[in-house]
Amino acid sequence: MEVHGQAIQSHRQFRGASSGGRRGRPRVLPWDTLREPGYELRQTHAGHPRETPAHTTARRSVLFPWRSWGRRTGTPGSMILLMSVLREIERELAGATERLLATAARLTDEDLRAPSLLPGWTRGHVLTHIARNADGCVNLLTWARTGVRTPQYASLRAREAGIAAGAGRPAAEQLADLRDSAERFAAAVGQMPAEAWTAPVSGMFPPGHPAWYVPIRRLREVEVHHADLGAGYGWADWPETYVRRELHDTMLWLGGESPVGEVVALDPGTGEVLRTWTGLGDGPSVQGTPRELLAWFAGRTDGTGLRLARPRRPTRPPDAPNAGPGRDAPDARSRRDASDARLRRDAAGKPPSPPPWPKPSPAGLPAEPPSSWPPAGNQRGTIMTYTGNVTKGGPADVREVRGLTISKIEVGDFGNNAYLLRCTETGDGLLIDAAAEPDRLLELIGDMPISSIVTTHRHRDHWGALKEVARATGARTVAHPLDAPELPVKVTREVEHGDRVTVGVVTLDVIHLRGHTPGSIALLYQDRHLFTGDSLFPGGVGNTQKDPLRFEQLFTDVVERIFDRLPDETWVYPGHGRDTTLGAERPHLPEWKARGW
């Protein structure tokens, strides 16, 4: 589902947790409708939001910021605490599994054929998915215990095919499978030596996470998808312990990427403030009970019961996300008008309702069912909502669009964006701009077969890692013939305006944009996703070194080949900095032309 060009069912982003993907499974995040590309999202405390406890009694001793924990698990004391935490999670998971089995035991064959709360999935699909997720988690624990890489699923396609094949089984067979798979996972947990819990594993999509996060993801799968059955157990029945811990975990993942500026958890009995998370972003303040907040963030409610306050407007210096080597950074303007108007309409009431889930695929399955928040490891097995805001050394931001998974990462000293595109049908990948840091790019790629590396233009900051990545992956190299001679490797395929580049069964159109360099190109996917290199940014076109002829050529190409052809919802992925949409930039075309840059 797209809202203003943004994927609400954002898939397998860097924290993915609930299914094996990231981002695992896509997640519907209704608050994402509050965010416009113009919001510059802040980051505090190394990516974590500031936490302000109003009552120390509201604190939980069991918290899971695994990114920072991973640096502390080497000491004996930390291992003792970790094992204590895992025992608690095991007990919670055992209880959640028993509740799920009790619900499943009451379902008849007819009940399993009925729709679940996940559009496009029957209850049979949901139960099959939960069982196969248990087996996938067993694979990850086996990987951690043996050191032999064991993928969570053979492939995304195989995972979906297995769910479709198992959905129509009789109730008795479904129940037995659900119980047996849960027992296999419990046995795998019991076989884990203490030292194996800190071993890194990875689900369907990078990056990975410590093995000790697997039981947490499994608990999330069981609780959330139990509610998705729509068979008497809902988010209102989630245990309080689970709610408090999950909400805290959610807030950790929101740091630096949230369109919500503040989250206030209120005591359900007295209405007193239990805890406030601030510094999340430039968006509004959302207030509600922990249970209401968690259900909303997980996409399981429309926000009923929550209160939405007006956004804060912190003073920020002029931003120049498109600044790069040799670029005169324009005074990029915040595009907040549409968002402010929407907030004025909604500020007095509940938060906007989440958009509807996308239509089922031809096979009768949605691309992936929405899952709980947050994703673990980009599994997002799940996801987190895609923002396009990445930092050097930080995790990739990942989104799922129809037929394609897009991973964005920042590399190099000039803040270059590299984009890894993966065809969800075949698993093949394509890399846009092997800019720098080849080791990080190869880590992002992992075992994914790469068919092509496209270089958007000749500037060195966009091909600094091209030779190493091309050698390691065996991918063919793609560029425009006017810029190809400047690259450090022989270009195996030269492309012109109107040509097409494929990745798996996905086709990308080549758009030649002359001006920043003679052979700059952009890639367009399905009229809604445009990778522009250094030819178009938030706030202006690419740098033409104050050459009026080059500017006129680039501006004309951008207007005629992009703005005159594509809709406002088209999402723009530039070569540096944050993303934008054509709708956010279109009103400023006269300004760009008048200033000449």
Q: Which long-range contacts (CB under 8 A, 24 or more apart) does 61-66 make?
A: 62/88, 62/89, 62/245, 63/245, 63/248, 63/249, 63/252, 64/213, 64/216, 64/245, 64/249, 64/252, 65/249, 65/252, 66/209, 66/210, 66/212, 66/213, 66/376
pLDDT > 70 fraction of the chain, expressed in percent and rounded? 72
The answer to whether residue 275 sits within a structural domain is yes
- In whole angstroms, give the CA distance from residue 345 to residue 348: 7
The answer to whether residue 24 sits within a structural domain is yes
The answer to whether residue 82 sits within a structural domain is no
The answer to whether residue 555 sits within a structural domain is yes
E-strand ranges in 281-412 read: 285-288, 307-308, 397-401, 404-411
- In whole angstroms, give the CA distance from residue 205 to residue 142: 18
Please give the structure tokens belonging to residue 9: 């069912």
Give yes or no: residues 499 and 416 share one domain. Answer: yes
Give yes or no: residues 529 and 417 share one domain. Answer: yes
Query: In terms of Cα–Cα distance, which of 395, 391, 389, 432 is closest to 412?
Result: 391
Q: Structural domain of residue 16, as residue ranges?
A: 2-54+241-346
- In whole angstroms, give the CA distance from residue 462 to residue 533: 9
Give yes or no: residues 408 and 519 share one domain. Answer: yes
Give yes or no: residues 342 and 413 share one domain. Answer: no
User: Residue 254: what pLDDT?
Assistant: 62
Give yes or no: residues 278 and 423 share one domain. Answer: no
Give, for all 597 residues of the chain, the pLDDT tens digit.
Answer: 222 222 222 222 222 333 333 333 323 233 332 222 222 222 222 223 332 322 222 222 233 333 333 334 444 456 677 788 888 899 999 999 999 999 999 999 999 999 999 888 999 999 999 999 999 999 999 999 999 989 998 887 888 899 999 999 999 999 999 999 999 999 999 999 999 999 999 876 555 789 998 999 999 999 999 999 999 999 999 999 899 888 888 877 664 456 677 889 998 888 888 888 877 766 788 899 999 999 988 888 877 788 877 644 433 333 333 333 333 333 333 333 333 333 333 333 433 333 222 222 222 222 232 333 222 333 333 333 688 999 999 999 999 888 899 999 999 999 999 999 999 989 999 999 999 999 999 999 999 999 999 999 999 999 999 999 999 999 999 999 999 999 999 999 999 999 999 999 999 999 999 999 999 999 999 868 999 999 999 999 999 988 999 999 999 999 999 999 999 889 999 999 999 999 999 999 999 999 998
- In whole angstroms, give the CA distance from residue 22 to residue 71: 22
The answer to whether residue 228 sits within a structural domain is no
The answer to whether residue 508 sits within a structural domain is yes
Give yes or no: residues 424 and 497 share one domain. Answer: yes
- The total number of structural domains in the chain stands at 2
Give yes or no: residues 445 and 330 share one domain. Answer: no
- In whole angstroms, give the CA distance from residue 120 to residue 582: 32
- The conformation of residue 497, written as its DSSP 8-state character, comes to T
Give yes or no: residues 433 and 307 share one domain. Answer: no
The answer to whether residue 545 sits within a structural domain is yes
115: number of CA atoms within 13 Å, CB side?
8
Give CA torsion, residues 166, 172, 176, 177, to 10 deg: 0
Give yes or no: residues 406 and 342 share one domain. Answer: no
- In whole angstroms, give the CA distance from residue 15 to residue 30: 18
Give yes or no: residues 470 and 342 share one domain. Answer: no
User: Which of 327, 346, 365 delimits the end of a domain?
Assistant: 346
Give yes or no: residues 553 and 416 share one domain. Answer: yes
User: Which of 346, 376, 411 delimits the end of a domain?
Assistant: 346
Give yes or no: residues 406 and 275 share one domain. Answer: no
Please give the structure tokens belonging to residue 169: 């089984």
Q: pTM above the 0.95 mark?
A: no
User: Residue 78: what pLDDT?
Assistant: 62
The answer to whether residue 406 sits within a structural domain is yes
Q: CATH number, domain at 441?
A: 3.60.15.10
